Structure 1
Amino acid sequence: MTLTERDREAQVTEQAWLPRGVDAHRPTEARVHDYALGGKDNYAIDRAYAHKLMSLVPGIGRPVVDNSRFARRAIRHLRDAGIRQFLEIGCGLPRPGDVHEVAGPDAVVVYVDYDPVAVSHFQAVLPSTGPARAIRADATRPAEVLSHPVVGEVIDFAEPVGLLTTYFFHLVTPEDDPARILREFREPLASGSHLVLSHPTLDFLAEEEIAAVREVFAELRERVTVRGRAEVAALFDGFDLLDPGVVEAPRWRPDRPYRMSAGRLLAGVGRKA
């Protein structure tokens, strides 16, 4: 699907007042995600990309909604298990149901993203001295995150931490080694810490659909790596998977009736012994 005349006009208007450093010439994961959730922090190029993807495989945008609902259920589980501090890797743009809203006012939360726009949006909506903070750091370099002054100030690694990596690792390439990244994040975590992880998969599509979707993925600013169930399960190395294991996100401890779609998201929660 190509840009409509309305979107073309919007694109010209948007580019006239873009903040410095914002690229509206290529769609970005965070802004497409925002659009799929009904947000306003996106541009014509992101909306056109989303429609193009959904025209190829109806329902492929569903994992964005599934991810948001899974994350809320998982955070509530961690909260009920007594966890009061959370580190969200690849937070993206603010959205309803963010960690600090679900975990409660006494929870300590650090949002981490490399995108300065995402971080600045979070910093604009979070009190500067509150228990929820947002920092810019490269999560493919865990030491950069863990040594950040804000993390050192508010996170007590002697106590359990909820490490949240929902809808993030598909943006981590094999060269960046997801297993290494998770190992380096896991090592300083106290016993009882939890990993919450979700990851889109194309396992349920036909080969010709997969090829077409991969072509569209190439238009994103970020490089997308889609993994299968076995690869996603392997990311939980060092954590004990909680029931029901790695499953389609709507099937992880559902709290409402759900329906499956052509787009699938794998999800799971693990606990560090």
Structure 2
Amino acid sequence: MTEGPNLARATNYLMGGGANFAADRAAVNEMLAMDPGLGRRIQASRAFVSRAVRDALDDGCDQFLELGAGIPAPGGLHSLVGPAARVVYVDVDPVAVASTREVLVGPDADGVAVVQADLHDADGVLAQVTAGGLLDLGRPVTVVCSSVLQWLADSDGPTLARVFATYHDGLAPGSLLVISTAHPDDLADHEADEKQPIISRAVAPVRLRGRSELARIVGAWDLLPPGIVDVVDWPETSGADTAGFYGVVCAARR
């Protein structure tokens, strides 16, 4: 379907990808017209994920599971980690999955797989990964959830804590969890009230999650320093303007 915008395709366009249509581009351009700083903040979130993933690689992790992956854009996870690592992209949207399969061509796609599954069904996701031999869950895996939580419903808050606890319990010690998500904590009330309807109308309903809620969601995992901070301040304070996205890296408890 190309008549209306699709979240995965719109995000792909925002990230500089080519797997999108006119309706997706129009939706993103509407958001950017109302919120010109959005692109910069999304890029800051993406840069945080890149730093966290490189740290995981430096620590010897060569397996990555990206939840709610959408459609990889240039510089996506599999390009970032290189052919020596294994990457599984997970998305519930059949448009995202089909488009990702079209994108995953050539030598850069070696060791990369995509599965259609709902990230909420952690047991089902891990079962697919195991059954397909896609990752070795007996060794550490880095789970990446990049700019996804803000697209999940308000009612998902308590559920998400259980979901991420299930991922935690199903993975080997030494596994990591990398999350970035939009937050409202630097916005005045009127700014949050103004921006959420703009994004929701253009692409999809958005839910900004604060520090305390994010802490509850990742409660089964051990927070690594510096804890839950704006993405520009991970792993250390940068002095840059905040991006409006929290970044957090957690480890599986031993």
Return the offset for 1:246. 1.1
Return the offset for 1:29. 2.4
Distance of 1:149 and 1:185 partners within structure 2: 12
Q: Is the 8 A contact 1:161 1:189 kept in 2?
A: yes
Distance of 1:71 and 1:151 partners within structure 2: 28
- Please give the per-residue CA displacement for 1:120-144, whole angstroms capped at 9, x wherever unaligned: 2222233599311011111121122
Distance of 2:32 and 2:99 partners within structure 1: 27
Distance of 1:141 and 1:23 partners within structure 2: 28
Which ranges in structure 1 are unaligned for 5 or more consecutive residues? Answer: 1-21
Map residues 132-151 of structure 1 onto 2, 5 A cutoff.
132-148=112-128
Map residues 35-184 of structure 1 onto 2, 5 A cutoff.
35-126=13-104, 130-148=110-128, 152-176=132-156, 177-184=159-166
Match among 243, 246, 254 for residue 225 of structure 2: 243
Three-state SS of the structure 2 residue aligned to 1:196 is strand
Partner of 1:31: 9
Distance of 1:259 and 1:28 partners within structure 2: 32
Distance of 1:132 and 1:45 partners within structure 2: 29
Distance of 1:50 and 1:130 partners within structure 2: 31
Return the offset for 1:220. 4.9
Question: Sequence identity, in percent?
Answer: 33
Distance of 1:174 and 1:73 partners within structure 2: 29
Distance of 2:239 and 2:74 partners within structure 1: 20
- Please give the per-residue CA displacement for 1:141-160, whole angstroms capped at 9, x wherever unaligned: 11221121666412111111
- Please give the per-residue CA displacement for 1:37-71, whole angstroms capped at 9, x wherever unaligned: 22222333333332333333331332221122111
Q: Does 1:197 align with 2:179?
A: yes
Distance of 1:181 and 1:222 partners within structure 2: 22
Distance of 1:83 and 1:227 partners within structure 2: 29
Would the alpha carbon gap of residues 55 and 220 (structure 1) be closer, same or farther in structure 2, given more than 3 Å must change? closer
Distance of 1:106 and 1:242 partners within structure 2: 26
Partner of 1:209: 191
Q: Is the 8 A contact 1:146 1:152 kept in 2?
A: no
Match among 191, 202, 211 for residue 229 of structure 1: 211
Aligned-partner residue type, residue 176 of structure 2: H
Return the offset for 1:270. 0.6
Q: Which has the larger radius of gyration?
A: 1
Would the alpha carbon gap of residues 52 and 258 (structure 1) be closer, same or farther in structure 2, given more than 3 Å must change? farther
Return the offset for 1:161. 0.6
Distance of 1:222 and 1:114 partners within structure 2: 15
Distance of 2:223 and 2:129 partners within structure 1: 31
Return the offset for 1:93. 1.0
Q: Which moved more, 1:207-216 or 1:89-98?
A: 207-216
Aligned-partner residue type, residue 160 of structure 1: P
Three-state SS of the structure 1 residue aligned to 2:60 is coil
Which ranges in structure 2 are unaligned for 5 or more consecutive residues? Answer: none
How many equivalent residue pairs? 249
Partner of 1:187: 169
Partner of 1:267: 247
Aligned-partner residue type, residue 91 of structure 1: A
Partner of 1:8: none
Three-state SS of the structure 1 residue aligned to 2:133 is helix
Would the alpha carbon gap of residues 80 and 168 (structure 1) be closer, same or farther in structure 2, given more than 3 Å must change? same
